[in-house]
Amino acid sequence: MTVALRTTELDPIFRTARLTCRPLEASDTPFYADLFSRQELVAYRPDPAPFDAARSATRLGEDLAHWKQHGFGRWALVHAGRTVGLGGLSLKFQYRGLNLSYHLLPDLWGQGLASEFVRGALDYAALSLKAQEVYGLVRPANTASTRVLEKAGFIHAAEHMVSGAPMTELRLKLR
């Protein structure tokens, strides 16, 4: 796994065998809106309502602000020359550690890209961000995502209600 290492400044881009992970940009708005308008994808989010254009723009703005404030955040995931998903590490102050999230176009589910991204993001978190702990929040019905995290070494930590939806918290200590 190749991961950009920090020398004097954090490199915001990392690569895996099949993915280039680059910071989101304002020009990603159409992809962001398309991805989160898909019912099969948002069905596993705490609020399963598809995003409209305004909600997409607001959420992308929040992601861009996270990058500006912290120097890391959600990446655009590029595979075979096209953007195929979003994934990232973020701070959510109600939880300790870094939140790991990922969303891929449904036609690419089951091809190992989520697992590949998770491994790369964990390497990035440990080596570049010097993170101690990472967690993911998953709807219990999203068994595929739970398997991806468990395969990477995450263990069940707690159950929560997030925006009225049950969520399972899985955690991994990096150090």
Q: Which residues of 48-63 are buried (b: 16+ CB within 10 A; e: fewer)?
A: eebbeeebbeebbeeb
Mean pLDDT (whole number) for 61-89: 96
pLDDT at 9: 54
CATH number at residue 80: 3.40.630.30
* Residue 89 is assigned to a structural domain of this protein: yes
Q: How many separate domains does the chain show? A: 1
* Residue 8 is assigned to a structural domain of this protein: no
* Residue 130 is assigned to a structural domain of this protein: yes
pLDDT at 10 exceeding the cut of 70? no
Neighbours of 159 (CB within 10 A): 10
> Do 35 and 103 contact (CB within 8 A), yes or no?
yes
Range of the domain at 120: 14-173
* Residue 4 is assigned to a structural domain of this protein: no
* Residue 136 is assigned to a structural domain of this protein: yes
pLDDT at 100 exceeding the cut of 70? yes
